Amino acid sequence: MKKTVIMGCLLALILLIPAGVSANGYLFINSTPQAAGINIDNGYVGSTPDNRSYSSGSHTLLLRLAGYTDYTTTVTVVENSTTVVNVAFQQTPVTITSITPSSGYNNSAVSITNLAGTGFATGASVVLFMSGQSNVSGTSVSVVSASQINCIFDITGKPAGTWTVIVTNPDGRSGSYSGFLIKNPAGSATLSSITPSTGTANSTVTITELDGTGFASTATILLRRSSYNDIPGSVSSVNTPGTALSGSFSLNNRVPGDYQVCVYNDATVYTCGLTFTIISDISTNGTISIKSAPTNSKVYLGSVYKGYTPLTLDKIPPGTYSVTIQRSGYYDWSGTVKVTSGNTSSVAADLLLKPDDTTAVITTQKTTVATVKTTVKSSLKVPTPWPTATPSPASPVDPAAALIVIAAGIVCAGVRK
């Protein structure tokens, strides 16, 4: 009876103990600077400093403070103990990754709808900067978030070119981005001089300086003449105020004459003016056309092998050249040809066959000898062979057939017994 009562008491105690109960510990959380938001296991619980009880075990901790990089870690709460977490925040770097729109014309203000980056703080200022120019301060600056600012730039009358965007937080931290283009509206750029103002046909001319105003850093240049294709140039540099640029033009196969100089700030904004003159090249190359009979003969210009006839040689400087044409079995042909500027000179050679290499055609007569076959009839009688189904000569006995016969004999012997 006693044992029964004791067992009943133990069972009652077991039933009275709550399932899943675990002991708690304490978590003290502090940060520098303070007032950072605390999130435990994705739930907000307060701000630093904070000291409260949590269930023992692992927990995910997230501390967040505006203008600083988020701090995330895993902490372990120990039963009946206090775990201390003290975080020194790192300030989020101020960066600028893009600006929308990325350009504007210098005859009005432009509204920036998304200056994107990181680390922007309330009260930040925004300016456009170009060396040698006064800054353009942004107005109506709105820090939408730590990653977006909206503002307005009044760029009226400002020099065309690429300007740098600078964001500065109240604490002095700043970031920059070189990527806002101020452009001139059509016709506002000016051209004052070009050096040199002439170039020789079939050459590359280097423009050491094209002076004017309003040149964008992305400007391109070309030469234009009515009824002729434009001659595109290559820009090597544009100075910061946009008042001078340098580059080059390839004048290969271009027609001599006067051309207009054009500067394009973009695909639709351009200015043409000034005069650039392409002069004739007295040493313009010529062409030689060479044929021979027979064809497929080797050609030498001077002592240099050039190929097989028929052959056209281009870009030959003016002058007189010796031409040699060779073919096996023929005498060499030699002559001269005069090349003139921009013209085609022709060479036609008839090669003579060498006599000792004349091929003789020899005809060989074929004689056919008839062979007479004589048949002699014999009087000897040959006995008639017995009829047989076996072809002559006889074939060897098929091994498979032999095995069948032997097997049949064994079976018959067995039956008899």
Average pLDDT over residues 139-155: 96
The owner of tokens 């059509």 is: 186
Q: What mean pLDDT do residues 214-229 have?
A: 90
Report pLDDT for 160.
80
Query: Residue 10 pLDDT > 90, yes or no?
Result: no
pLDDT in tens, 102-117: 999 888 999 999 999 9
Q: Strand ranges (DSSP E) for 241-318?
A: 244-250, 257-264, 270-279, 286-293, 298-301, 304-308, 311-316
**CATH number for the domain formed by residue range(s) 95-183:** 2.60.40.10
Q: Write the DSSP assignment of 111-135 as a string of letters.
A: EEEEEEEE---TT-EEEEE-TTS--
Give which of 126, 65, 129, 123 is closest to 96, Cα–Cα. 126
pLDDT digits (tens, 9 = 90+) for 34-51: 999 999 999 999 999 999
**Per-residue confidence (pLDDT) for residue 407, from 0 to 100:** 52
**pLDDT tens-digit map of 267-316:** 777 889 899 999 987 666 788 999 999 999 999 999 999 999 999 998 78
Neighbours of 66 (CB within 10 A): 13
CB 245 within 8 A of CB 233: no
Output the pLDDT for position 410. Answer: 54
pLDDT at 182 over 90: no
Region 195-220: mean pLDDT is 91
The verdict on domain 286-355 having CATH code 3.30.565.10 is no
**Statement: residue 391 has pLDDT above 90:** no
Please say if the pLDDT value at position 209 is more than 80. Answer: yes
| Predicted local confidence at residue 372, as pLDDT | 41
CATH superfamily to which 190-279 belongs: Immunoglobulins (2.60.40.10)
> What pTM did the predictor assign?
0.40
Instruction: Tell me the percentage of the chain whose pLDDT exceeds 90.
Output: 59
Under the banding of pLDDT at 50, 70 and 90, the label for residue 398 is: low
pLDDT-based confidence at 376, cuts 50/70/90? Answer: very low
Tally the C-alpha atoms within 13 A of residue 88's C-alpha that lie toward its C-beta. Answer: 0
Question: In this model, does residue 4 exceed pLDDT 70?
Answer: no
**Please, which residues have CB within 8 angstroms of residue 90's CB and are 6 or more apart in sequence?**
68, 69
Please report the pLDDT score of residue 362 as a whole number. 42
The residue with greater pLDDT, 400 or 145, is: 145
The CATH number given to 24-88 is 2.60.40.10
Asked if the model's pLDDT at residue 355 lies above 60, the reply is yes
**Average model confidence (pLDDT) for the chain?**
83
Q: Does pLDDT of 374 surpass 50?
A: no
Does 286-355 match 95-183 at the fold level? yes
Angle at 212 between CA 211 and CA 218, to 5 degrees: 90
**Predicted local distance difference test score (pLDDT) of residue 15:** 47
> Taking 80 as the threshold, does the pLDDT of residue 225 lie above it?
yes
Residue ranges per domain, the chain? Answer: 24-88, 95-183, 190-279, 286-355
252: pLDDT confidence band, cut at 50, 70 and 90? very high
